[in-house]
Amino acid sequence: MRHIIKPDDFSVQELEDLFDLATDMERNPDKYAHVCEGKKLATCFYEPSTRTRLSTETAMLNLGGKIMGFSDAGSSSASKGESVSDTIRVISCFADIAAIRHPKEGAATVAAMHSTIPVINCGDGGHQHPTQTLTDLHTIRSLKGRLSNFTIGLCGDLKFGRTVHSLINALARYEGIRFIFISPPELRVPDYITEKLEEKGIRYEEYISLDDVMPRLDILYMTRVQRERFFNEEDYVRLKDFYILDTERMKKAKNDMFVLHPLPRVNEISVEVDRDPRAAYFRQVQYGMYVRMALIMTLLELHVD
């Protein structure tokens, strides 16, 4: 039985197969409309979510399966003190696959250890968010036609942003990726991640100014400042509007650069940028649904002829 806790639980070749499957699902939805008939997905969300939960649920519904779950820890037995390991044991009796989001780093790993059904990590604290990373990789591959040889700028809260941590990890496995990290000094990429890049001999640069690097980027991955992971409100208020991507800044970028964002956006991309054909963050949401369909089918080891 297989789980996805971090993106590198899948090899580069397995990811290629997954993205090909997602593309085929987008082109031929009818072919896959019944593949999960009789199967149930449980979504166990102990933290707020719009996209990830609804996208995972829609993915299961598109495959002909059924969904159940909770979207708020307060409405589950967690509020009575039940542990994640007990909850997942119980869910394993009801569902065929579980998607879990939890504020604590490592919660999905604990769930996987005690589960008898595949577990999808939909975000564990500031640690990893593999299905967002699959979404990001599938989006880049679809827009650019490749996952190698480009310069990616990651901008905003690089310290607490789990989507950033997962994406760096995942892209580090491809040839010719150059990372440019743009953040206020307080929100730099954690050392444990840059140390890994250094060990592997992967190039990265760190900047405070977005303007300075804009012309060099092939992809710009914007992120929101993660208010819920700050220790005090004062720091959040000081840093929340550090970067605002607007049409003026977009003029400095290449014509074939794309802007991605895991969403939700707060102020870091002004709405006027949405009209720019290089703004890909809503298309990214669409790609995310197909990649989750492919993931569910793969974890359940289902096939179509």
The residues annotated as belonging to the active site are 51-52, 80, 101, 129
- Cα 133 from Cα 173, distance rounded (Å): 13
Segment interacting with ligand NCD (CB under 6 A) among 33-41, 143-151, 236-244, 259-267: 259-267
Least Å from the CB of residue 223 to ligand NCD: 6
Q: Which is nearer to ligand NCD, 45 or 179 (CB)?
A: 45
**Dihedral angle, C-alpha 121, 122, 124, 126, nearest 10 °:** 130
The two tokens of residue 61 are 């519904």
Tell me how far apart the 2 most distant CA atoms of the chain are, in Å: 57
Residue owning tokens 């990830």: 52
Segment interacting with ligand NCD (CB under 6 A) among 59-67, 165-173, 232-240, 258-266: 258-266
Task: Looking at residues 202 to 231 of the shown chain, list those that interact with ligand NCD (rule: CB under 6 A).
Answer: 224
CA atoms within 13 A on the CB side of 119: 29
Residues in binding contact with ligand NCD, number by CB under 6 A: 11
CA atoms within 13 A on the CB side of 157: 26
Least Å from the CB of residue 176 to ligand NCD: 27
Task: Looking at residues 112 to 141 of the shown chain, list those that interact with ligand NCD (rule: CB under 6 A).
Answer: 123, 129, 132
Tell me which residue has its CB nearest to ligand NCD: 262
Of the candidates 56, 168, 212, which has an alpha carbon nearest to the alpha carbon of residue 120?
56
Least Å from the CB of residue 160 to ligand NCD: 9
Q: Collapsing DSSP states into helix, strand and coil, what is residue 194? A: helix
Residue owning tokens 């929100």: 187
Angle between the N-to-C axes of helices 51-62 and 281-299, in degrees from 0 to 180, rounded to the nearest 10: 50
The reply on whether position 183 binds ligand NCD by CB under 6 A is: no
The two tokens of residue 105 are 């780093």
Residue owning tokens 């949401």: 285
Q: Which is nearer to ligand NCD, 7 or 123 (CB)?
A: 123
How far is the CA of 207 from the CAs of 149, 169, 202, 214, in angstroms? Answer: 21, 20, 17, 11
Q: Which is nearer to ligand NCD, 87 or 163 (CB)?
A: 163
Segment interacting with ligand NCD (CB under 6 A) among 22-30, 191-199, 213-221, 260-268: 260-268
Least Å from the CB of residue 116 to ligand NCD: 26
Least Å from the CB of residue 190 to ligand NCD: 15
Q: Which is nearer to ligand NCD, 52 or 169 (CB)?
A: 52
Q: Which is nearer to ligand NCD, 51 or 141 (CB)?
A: 51
Contacting positions for ligand NCD (CB under 6 A): 51-52, 123, 129, 132, 162-163, 224, 262-264
